[in-house]
């Protein structure tokens, strides 16, 4: 496979000066598919084990395929982090929603389409029963592989991103307001892929559809919906019996938190089971909260993306043990539409704060959580208590509020 044009991207592996190597033991891998690739010359032989040589394992994939994974923990520790930013998931999903026609595309062999820099190839050496070998292409498992791939995609689609295309690492989404416009946009996208030799995995691509999955959500012309497959995982959970099961359930519920108002307050009886020295006793109150969450997840609202040049409205509710909020915006008809629901459980010391202090605490947390929206828009706060009015009038503030 030729791979991406090396004029726009190569993966480099700089090392921290005086990095201390770790000697890896030989892997016991015996897999016919991998050994066949080595015999065919897919992996060049290394003359010796470089300082960061690693073991490898085989991970089963769909369709009787396997993926070879190398343990690069030592190499990753010795390599400085590439701080190239990945797209913010919330903004990416917002930018993709409310289009009538989509094409969802996935790169073939993903990271393996990017060539390794010639002087860094032997740093990827791995150990097998047949000897030591290294990668000619960027393998999975490297710390900065994701950043390198995203940088390549930004270089490829710099003039199309946020217009006809959205990209999150190896996931590419073509989007258009009308099906007719999409027919005109796709050739431009394909020409760009052809020019820089980026291959697609056709078995994972869908073209000219009205909706599709993106980073755990469903996007369509109406807005953003929950993925039914992920919601089903919550419906199928039986009554919880152990602390591990409780933590697992709350972790799954966290996925739907931005679609449900006051989710933390609803789950309060379940959260109490995780208190220190708390006996694990699943009572009627826990069961009712458990059923409520399942009921809410059956018909969650459709969220809408933010409209530029319009103010946002933040509703904030602060209780003794938790807080909740809704970020909304008025549409062209003056009707308020929900953009984001959020909630948080106060830790034990925060629950002892005064009402004003808890409100300030909640407002700070919300501002950090919704920073991607509030930085670019005027936001109107609607709450029972106005902390800003108190702060600006008070000459001397308490330590917590200050």
Strands in 312-318's sheet, in edge-to-edge order, are: 336-345, 322-330, 312-318, 379-383
Residue 252: predicted pLDDT: 86
pLDDT per residue of the chain (402 residues) written in tens, 0 to 9: 567 888 889 999 998 887 765 655 444 444 545 545 544 445 666 655 554 555 666 666 665 566 677 888 888 988 999 999 999 999 999 999 999 999 999 988 888 899 999 999 988 888 777 778 888 999 888 999 999 999 999 999 999 999 999 999 989 999 999 999 999 999 999 999 999 999 998 988 999 999 999 998 999 999 999 988 888 888 888 888 888 888 988 888 888 889 988 888 899 889 888 888 778 888 899 899 989 988 888 888 999 999 998 999 999 999 998 999 999 999 888 899 999 999 999 988 889 888 888 988 999 999 999 999 999 899 999 988 877 777 777 666 666 775
Residue 399: predicted pLDDT: 67
Distances (CA, A) of 147 to 85, 100, 122: 7, 30, 21
Residues contacting 97, CB < 8 A, separation 6+: 219, 220, 223, 224, 304, 305
d(CA 67, CA 65): 7
Residue 41: predicted pLDDT: 47
Residue whose structure tokens are 């972790």: 251
User: Which of these, 395, 325, 317, lies nearest to 355 by C-alpha position?
Assistant: 317
- What are the structure tokens assigned to 350, written together? 């925060």
Residue 85: predicted pLDDT: 93
d(CA 102, CA 165): 10
d(CA 322, CA 281): 22
Residues contacting 397, CB < 8 A, separation 6+: 391
d(CA 34, CA 38): 6
In sequence order, what are the beta bridge partners of 161?
A: 165
d(CA 134, CA 126): 6
Residues contacting 289, CB < 8 A, separation 6+: 266, 267, 268, 269, 270
Q: Quick check: 327 and 304 in contact, CB under 8 A?
A: no
- What are the structure tokens assigned to 42, written together? 């897919």
In sequence order, what are the beta bridge partners of 126?
A: 54, 133
With 0.75 as the threshold, say if the pTM is over it: yes
Residue 380: predicted pLDDT: 93
- What are the structure tokens assigned to 143, written together? 């710390």
Residue whose structure tokens are 């009886």: 269
Residues contacting 26, CB < 8 A, separation 6+: 55, 127, 128, 129
213 alpha carbon, distance to own chain's centre: 13
């Amino acid at each position: 496979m030729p791979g991406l044009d090396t004029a726009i991207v190569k993966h480099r592996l700089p090392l921290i000066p005086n990095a201390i190597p770790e000697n890896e033991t030989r892997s016991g891998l015996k897999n016919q598919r991998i050994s066949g690739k080595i015999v065919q010359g897919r992996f060049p032989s290394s003359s010796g084990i470089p300082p960061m040589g690693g073991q490898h394992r085989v991970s089963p994939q769909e369709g009787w395929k396997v993926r070879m994974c190398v343990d690069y923990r030592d190499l990753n520790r010795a390599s400085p982090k590439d701080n190239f930013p990945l797209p913010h998931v919330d903004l990416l999903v917002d930018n993709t929603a409310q289009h009538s026609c989509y094409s969802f595309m996935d790169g073939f062999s993903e990271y393996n389409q990017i060539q390794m820099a010639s002087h860094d190839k032997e740093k990827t050496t791995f150990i097998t029963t047949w000897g030591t070998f290294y990668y000619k292409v960027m393998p999975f498992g490297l710390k900065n592989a994701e950043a390198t791939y995203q940088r390549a995609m930004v270089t490829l689609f710099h003039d199309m991103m946020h217009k006809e295309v959205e990209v999150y690492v190896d996931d590419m989404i073509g989007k258009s307001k009308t099906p007719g416009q999409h027919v005109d946009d796709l050739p431009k996208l394909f020409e760009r892929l052809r020019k820089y030799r980026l291959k697609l995995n056709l078995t994972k691509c869908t073209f000219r559809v009205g909706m599709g999955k993106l980073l755990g959500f469903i996007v369509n012309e109406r807005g953003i919906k929950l993925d039914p497959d992920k919601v089903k995982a919550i419906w199928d959970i039986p009554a919880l019996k152990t602390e591990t099961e409780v933590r697992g359930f709350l972790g799954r519920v966290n996925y739907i938190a931005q679609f449900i108002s006051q989710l933390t307050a609803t789950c309060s009886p379940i959260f109490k089971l995780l208190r220190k020295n708390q006996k694990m006793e699943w009572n009627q109150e826990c069961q009712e909260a458990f059923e409520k969450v399942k009921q809410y997840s059956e018909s969650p609202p459709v969220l809408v993306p933010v409209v530029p040049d319009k103010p946002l409205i933040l509703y904030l509710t602060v209780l003794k043990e938790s807080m909740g909020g809704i970020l909304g915006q008025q549409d062209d008809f003056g009707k308020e539409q929900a953009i984001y629901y959020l909630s948080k459980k106060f830790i034990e010391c925060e629950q002892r704060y005064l009402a004003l202090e808890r409100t300030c605490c909640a407002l700070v947390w919300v501002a950090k959580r919704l920073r991607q929206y509030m930085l670019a828009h005027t936001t109107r706060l609607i709450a029972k208590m106005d902390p800003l009015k108190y702060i600006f009038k008070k000459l001397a503030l308490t330590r917590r509020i200050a």
